[in-house]
Amino acid sequence: MTKKEIVREIQKRLEDLYPQTPIPLAHTDSYTLLVAVLLSAQCTDKRVNQVTPQLFDLADNPYEMSGVPIDKIKAIIRPCGLSPRKSKAISDLSKILIEKFNGKVPNDMEALESLPGVGHKTASVVMSQAFGVPAFPVDTHIHRLAYRWKLSNGKNVVQTEKDLKRLFPKNIWNKLHLQIIYFGREYCPARGHMPFKCPICKDFGRRSMFK
């Protein structure tokens, strides 16, 4: 098969497995999604979803959050890890949203990346899932699978994002990145992976995986 045919087949198998792709992080709007994604750094979505109800009951918009003491935010989000840094970022970005963006999460990649605690991946998730703008957020699952499927050389997430954007149609990026995440969690984990049983790796995985 040609590379283009392999890409199409991977896309088809992912679509067959995951025709619906609900966003894993519980949220109600662009602000709560932004905070949830920020909290998900080095933390599971499941843990974030256990923490955010209490946090958003306290404050679910930048105006209320900016008035909450950082120590109170930190106490709530502690189970997510990195709580000193994340709590300050949540407080600071809330104030900046009020001061610079009229309390709204900006629909702009550069503006999002200027916010405290918001890197390229977090901004990409918000752009794609909150605003529907085509983006391809690359997390550890996507980076790992792109390498295993020979879609990228695995050097870094920046290169992986470029490679995947080049290989797949722009109109499916937002759904596809979630499909790959779901697949990675269910069939293609970092540890305990069995390539011969993996619905994609068994046909398109790197040979080194089978040694």
- Does 144 lie in the same domain as 99? no
Residue position matching structure tokens 């045919």: 5
Sign of CA dihedral 155, 157, 162, 167: positive
The closest alpha carbon to 188, from 171, 209, 163, 173, belongs to: 209
Residue 24: per-residue pLDDT: 95
Last residue of a domain, one of 86, 116, 131: 131
As a whole number of angstroms, the distance between CA 53 and CA 95 comes to: 21
What's the pLDDT band for 120 if we cut at 50, 70, 90?
very high
In the structure, what pLDDT confidence band is assigned to residue 211 with cuts at 50, 70 and 90?
Answer: low
CA distance to 19, 123, 179, per residue, from 175 (Å): 9, 16, 6
CA distance 34 to 37: 5
Query: Do residues 45 and 81 share a domain?
Result: yes
What distance in Å separates the CA atoms of residue 13 and residue 19, rounded to the nearest whole number? 10
Q: Are residues 9 and 36 in the same domain?
A: no
34 lies in the same domain as 116: yes
Alpha carbons 15 and 143: distance in angstroms, whole number = 19
Domain membership of residue 108 as a residue range: 30-131
Smallest CA-to-CA distance from 136 within 160, 107, 152, 153 is with 160
The enclosing domain of 111 has a CATH number of 1.10.340.30
Residue 121 in this model has a pLDDT that exceeds 70: yes
Q: Which residues of 122-140 are buried (b: 16+ CB within 10 A; e: fewer)?
A: bbbbbbbbbbeeebbbbbe
Co-location of 186 and 172 in the same domain: yes
Mean pLDDT across 95-122: 97
Looking at the structure, tell me whether residues 151 and 60 fall in a common domain. Answer: no
- 86 and 164 in a common domain: no
- Both 34 and 125 in one domain: the answer is yes
Total domains in the fold of the chain: 2
pLDDT for 2-42, tens place per residue? 999 999 999 999 999 999 999 999 999 999 999 999 999 99
Of 112, 131, 150, the one marking the end of a domain is 131
Query: What gap in Å lies between CA 146 and CA 144, rounded to an integer?
Result: 6
* Residue 71 annotated as catalytic: no
Do 154 and 186 reside in the same domain of the chain? yes
Instruction: Tell me the per-residue pLDDT of 49-105, one tens digit each, with 9 for 90 and over.
Output: 999 999 999 999 999 999 999 999 999 999 999 999 999 999 999 999 999 999 999
Residue of 60, 92, 108, 139 with catalytic role = 139
Active site residue 121: yes
* Cα gap 42→62, rounded to integer Å: 23
- Per-residue pLDDT of 135-177, as tens digits, reads 999 988 899 999 999 999 978 999 999 999 999 999 999 999 9
pLDDT score, position 210 = 66
pLDDT exceeds cutoff 80 at 207: no
Sign of the torsion formed by the C-alpha atoms of 138, 145, 20 and 40: negative
